[in-house]
Amino acid sequence: MRAGGSPGSVARRRQTAARLVPFAATLGAIAFAGGLVCGALHTSAADHVAKSFAAAWRSGDYPAMYAVLSPDARRRTSLEHFVAAYRADRDIATARRMAIGEPVSHGSAYRLPVVVDTRVFGTVDDDVVLPIDDSGGHPSIDWRPHVAFPGLRAGEALTRRTRMPPRAALLTRDRTPLAQGPARSSPLGPLAASVVGVLGPAPPERSERLEALGVPAGTRVGVTGLERIFDERLLGRPGGELLAGGRVLGRGVARAAGAVRTTISAPVQQAAVTALAGRLGGTVALKPRTGEILAFAGIAFSGLQPPGSTFKMITVTAALESHLTSPAKAYPVQTQAVLEGVTLQNANGESCGGTLVESFAKSCNSVFAPMGAEIGAKRLVAVAERFGFNHDLGIPGAATSTIPTAGEIGDALAVGSSAIGQGRVQATALQMAIVAATIGLRGRRPSPTLDFDAARGRAVAAKATDARTARTVERLMLAVVAGGTGTAAAIPGVPVAGKTGTAELKTTTTCRPVPADPGACPPAQTASDPTDTDAWFAAYAPAGKGRPRIAVGVMLVGSGAGGATAAPAARGLLIAGLKASQ
């Protein structure tokens, strides 16, 4: 919308409007052309100051703009407040792109044509008046706050009045409403509530972003669940007026967004809720090929916990790639391993070992902790990162699963502890489902999404390992379910590949006794204390052909052994996912 009240030729305005480009990209061509002109023609000192200010504004170089202000202007306004004024006006206007023209002398000032394309209020096309102070013999700009935005007059401040449209609906993959209308109601009732999340005041860390989108203060926004993940799309586009004092510079009409179709499957979501059974933890199911998340419940995205032996999927991948092991390699049957003089026991102190297949199926810490130390921190971390650790999953509000850098992990004991998913390794149920899916896809890591339309035709994100290594790890994971710690997840007639995990909590960090203070280390937890362990299970099905239809991750906090509690919980989720993907 054209702002009124300032002179300037129509032709010059049209030329300026045609140069609308992103903030960071305006300098190149215009500055180059300006340089040619300045080199060819004589310019006054005042011309040079005005053109320097304009060129610096094009490139977003606020210190260079500030450098040509008059001494009085700099005494009135610090650089910090100067920069804040421009950024505040940009956010108030919901500016997306800006074009800065060439200054034109106008009496004792210069008129600088500026065109601002806003998200909410249309296009603001007007001049900024640059007063010139020539009192000291060296021309400079006698800057005032109204110079920060086109169309403002002396003493006026830029403000806005905005209104939100109705919030858009959330749908399942089959278009059943999950949340709609002011009450965010759904025919699915409590099942929808388990995944939709809630609305509330904007969290402090999001307030600046929402302000820049034109969302009025006090608007209820998505805080958790799908409401949070799709919040900016569900909000729609605000409408209202952009004001210079009491004058209107621009107007916009509020526009509601279209309904957002998610990847959630109601039957699989019911299975995810049932699997969680009201316990603290998280459950998640996804389609490996496209990364579509079919269901999630609890803290599947946000709950970071030590992943325990599910991390051995990554450890054994690193060992196979390094040719440090093979399926037939034999390991001693023992109850514990010793690293750096510290004992790492198998679960319940059981004797464990045999071939790699047997050791993986029984989840022998006595095998995999020393294996991790042999692999070394550098390779272990590199392989974990290929599977997605230390990388943002691209889902708003989802936590990043982490492993310390190679230089931060520590000695052989720390590397061995990391290799069995303890130490400072932290993961979400979603991340471990992705690790399992990656093995099922022959080493290709899917990128998770909840956006049904975006998932169509999308490819997996990256190669985590080679197909031969993935097939070998799959063989080990099949043994876990066929006769190892994960038999409770077996489905008749369906090959299920999985890995259990039993992650210690209170004893996650190994305590080294000090002779001078023998009581410094607390007594070890007993095997009968399930509250000391998280139960994990990650799996996919069907295994064997590189085309799994479902992958799941289950993490139950303080719930005992993975094989005893997480594996049977995952079984129902696997069955539901297989049915939904037929």
Domain residue ranges in the chain:
10-158, 170-235, 266-509+529-580
Q: Going by DSSP bridges, is the β-strand pair 260-261/170-171 parallel, antiparallel, or unpaired?
A: parallel
Cβ-count burial of 465 within 10 angstroms (0-12 exposed, 13-18 middle, 19+ buried)?
buried
Angle formed by the axes of helices 365-375 and 312-321, nearest 10°: 50
CB 230 within 8 A of CB 197: no
pLDDT of residue 3: 43
Return contacts of 508-514, CB within 8 angstroms, 24+ apart: 508/306, 508/422, 508/423, 509/423, 510/342, 510/344, 510/413, 510/417, 512/342
Q: Which residue matches tokens 């992958």?
A: 551
CB 532 within 8 A of CB 525: yes
| Distance, CA of 154 to chain centre | 43
pLDDT of residue 506: 62
Closest CA to 150 of 171, 188, 184, 123: 123
Q: ∠84-109-82 over CA atoms, to 5°?
A: 10
What is the phi/psi pair of residue 243, to 5°? Answer: -120, 140
DSSP letter (8 states) at residue 180: B
CATH of 266-509+529-580, one of 3.40.50.720, 3.10.450.50, 3.40.50.800, 3.40.710.10: 3.40.710.10
CB 294 within 8 A of CB 264: yes
pLDDT of residue 343: 87
pLDDT of residue 240: 96
pLDDT of residue 6: 42
Return the CATH number of the domain spanning residue range 10-158. Answer: 3.10.450.100
pLDDT of residue 456: 79
Closest CA to 383 of 474, 467, 464, 498: 464
pLDDT of residue 530: 59
CB 525 within 8 A of CB 569: no
pLDDT of residue 515: 52
Structure tokens at 159: 């403000």
- The residue ranges of the chain whose pLDDT is under 50 are 1-42, 507-513, 518, 520-528
The two domains 10-158 and 266-509+529-580 share their CATH topology (first three levels equal): no
pLDDT of residue 582: 77
pLDDT of residue 526: 40
pLDDT of residue 17: 40
DSSP 3-state of 499:
strand
| 478-535 tens-digit pLDDT | 999 999 999 999 999 999 999 999 988 764 444 444 555 545 444 444 444 556 789 9
Report the run of H or E that residue 275 belongs to, with start and end.
helix 266-276
Closest CA to 571 of 517, 502, 494: 494
Give pTM, 2 decimals. Answer: 0.83
The class of domain 170-235 in CATH terms is: alpha beta
pLDDT of residue 500: 97
